[in-house]
Chains A and B, each alone.
Chain A
Amino acid sequence: MIKAKVIMTENIVTINENASITEAAKLMINKHVSSLLVAKNNMPTAIIVKNDLIKGLLNKNPSNIEVKNIMSKNFLVINPNTSYPYMLKKLRKEHIKRFPVVKNNKLVGIITETDIVNATRDFTRFHQIMQEVILAVFGLVTAFFLFFFSPLGQSMLWG
């Protein structure tokens, strides 16, 4: 079973809740991430996503708004041994897109929708290859059986 620690990203970009939203936006763009975690004592307390930032920037004085005014709590804390199907279920049924990974009360990584989608693609390819391998093996076995019971096979192998 694939676990969270295999597909998680270990570089977590965090931000202070008192930072301004323009700082947050710059950080997000420079680090090429889709969300920033707000962490306190190495535990994730809140998250900001691009949509929240755009909402904040639409206000009259964007520079006065701090991260804590726009952050949300739409995430699910998991541990490194959480299974991949569990996360996939949460993503598809409950639309939770971000999973901070916490081990011994310490933030060690994050899994986002992109990680899960990439993992799904890899597994799909693996499944497709396995499917073809199984078909090939069964095809060979069937061919062997047919040969085995044919008159030619009888005389050559056990006649």
Chain B
Amino acid sequence: MAKISKIMNTSVLTLKKEAKISDAARLIANKSQGCVVIVEGKKPIGIITESDILRNLVSKKISPEEKVTKIMSSPITAIHPNTKLEKASKIIDTKHFKRYPVVYNGDLVGLVAENSIVHAINDNVKFHRNIQNIVLMIFVLFEFFIFILYGHLVNFPLFW
């Protein structure tokens, strides 16, 4: 089974914790990405999504000059790059987030989205199913062969 490191996105938008909300908004808008990870050194400490920015700037009337730490979601749910896809799928089931920072030894190395995990598992299952069908076909042919051979040898009543 494949690992998270194969499907993660390694070009993650990051901002230091001293940055302002307007910086985060500008970064998200210019790069057309869904979220930005707030880091301290290389350690991820929070995440800000498009919805967080809209909700806080428009509904809660928070000034864009405030620090990003005020509106970020923290703590984050990190995933290890060696996590298997099935395990990741279970994490999605319990957490219901859309994006998960991938963290190795405390450092941010990538970002993985729910949809890429789901699509990767779907591809894997389809691949496995195709292999399984071929193997089953060979088994069936083999069984049929034995059936005929054995029928000849012991005078099998159904055919002869």
A contacts, CB < 8 Å to B: 22, 25-26, 28-29, 50-51, 53-55, 57-58, 92, 113, 117, 120-121, 123-124, 127-128, 131, 134-135, 138, 141-142, 145, 149, 154, 158
Contacts and interface: CB of A to CB of B under 8 A. Distances in A.
Pairs of residues from A and B, 6 with the lowest C-beta to C-beta distance, nearest first: A50-B50, A25-B58, A55-B29, A54-B29, A117-B115, A124-B122
Interface in B126-160: 126, 128-129, 132, 136, 139-140, 143, 146-147, 150, 154, 157
B28 A54 contact: yes
B50 to A, nearest CB: 4
Interface of B: 22, 25-26, 28-29, 32, 34, 50-51, 53-55, 57-59, 89, 114-115, 118-119, 121-122, 125-126, 128-129, 132, 136, 139-140, 143, 146-147, 150, 154, 157
A127 B29 contact: no
B58 A138 contact: no
B114 A127 contact: no
Given A51-B32, A138-B136, A142-B143, A121 B118 contact: yes
A117 B29 contact: no
A154 B154 CA distance: 10
Given A117-B115, A128-B125, A158 B58 contact: no
7 contacts: A26-B59, A28-B54, A51-B32, A57-B54, A134-B132, A138-B136, A138-B139
Contacts of B50: 50-51, 54
A53 B125 CA distance: 38
A22 B128 CA distance: 49
A98 to B, nearest CB: 14
Contacts of A57: 25, 54, 57-58
